[in-house]
């Protein structure tokens, strides 16, 4: 079975901090995705990557950046955390990109 592991289930940070969310998958998938999930808004795509060192903006990339130095790892970076970035963050992987995605258990991030 595919396993997607997110480094933290819960995280509390302060406004202005640089925050790193890590995601690792073990199935050699080319495609990896970062979403945020908010009540009433569903899942919104932040960034995705279809290969090492490649990235594409999703629907809401502002305030975020990503890094994919190795195929199995996709990092989401909040350059300067703000309270409106408090949310549930979900990482997923797939191969090919429009096939079923495998999700991690999410990181519930609170920015104080």
- Which residues of the chain form contacts with another protein (CB under 8 A)? 4, 31, 33, 35, 40-43, 45, 48, 50, 56, 58, 90, 92, 97-106, 108
Least CB distance from residue 27 to another protein, whole Å? 13
Q: Taking the CA of residue 11 as centre, how many other CA atoms within 13 Å lie in the half-sphere pointing to its CB?
A: 25
Do 21 and 76 contact (CB within 8 A), yes or no? Answer: yes
**92/111 with CB nearer another protein:** 92
**17/51 with CB nearer another protein:** 51
Dihedral angle sign, alpha carbons of residues 86, 109, 51, 2: negative
Calpha distance 21→43 (Å, rounded): 17
Lookup: tokens for 76: 């989401």
Least CB distance from residue 81 to another protein, whole Å? 22
**46/111 with CB nearer another protein:** 46
Least CB distance from residue 29 to another protein, whole Å? 13
């Amino acid at each position: 079975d595919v396993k997607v592991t997110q480094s933290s289930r819960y995280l509390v940070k302060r406004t202005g901090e640089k925050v790193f969310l890590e995601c690792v998958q073990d199935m050699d998938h080319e495609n990896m995705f970062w979403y945020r999930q908010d009540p009433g808004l569903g899942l919104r795509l932040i960034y995705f990557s279809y290969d090492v060192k490649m990235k594409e903006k999703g629907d809401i990339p502002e305030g975020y950046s990503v890094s994919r130095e190795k195929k199995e790892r996709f990092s989401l970076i909040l350059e300067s955390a703000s309270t409106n970035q408090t949310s549930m963050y979900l990482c997923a992987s797939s191969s090919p990109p429009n096939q079923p995605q495998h999700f991690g258990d999410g990181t519930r991030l609170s920015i104080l």
